[in-house]
Amino acid sequence: VYPGNCWPFKGHQGQVVIRLPARVYLTAITVQHITKNASPSGTINSAPKDIAVFVSLLGTSVDADREEETLLGMFSYNVDKGPMQTFPLKSMLLPRAFSQVKLIVKSNWGNPWYTCIYGVKVHGK
């Protein structure tokens, strides 16, 4: 992990849908950013702050064309903790496997121009 070698997006909000290589019973998600010591400026205000994780229920409703999403958790990435932070998901709400997960960054730690994510890991069986 090197400063600047991240997935950047414009502004303080963004989202990504991660397609998994197989269907997974989701248990947790890990988000990674660099540390303050690794940052050339000594700050990491481009780190994500408030994060939400959803799964799609497309094709499971009565109206198969209407996409429904279920929230599996809302978390805050803490810049004063380690660079890799793991958050448990409320997978017991949906005891089934999914092939994709949506990560929404609702805010960052103060950078108005961009937000960076250095890594995302999806955990499950």
Specify the number of domains making up the chain.
Answer: 1
Its pTM stands at 0.86
Q: Is residue 2 part of a domain?
A: no
In tens, the pLDDT along 47-98 reads 999 999 999 766 444 545 556 888 999 999 999 999 999 999 986 666 788 9
Domain that residue 52 falls in? 7-124
Instruction: Compute and round to an integer the Cα radius of gyration of the chain.
Output: 15
Tokens of 86: 């793991």
**Whole-number pLDDT of residue 61:** 46
Q: Is residue 38 part of a domain?
A: yes
CATH of the domain at 13: 2.60.120.260
Give dist(CA 115, CA 109) in Å, integer.
9
Collapsed DSSP state (helix, strand, coil) of residue 92: helix
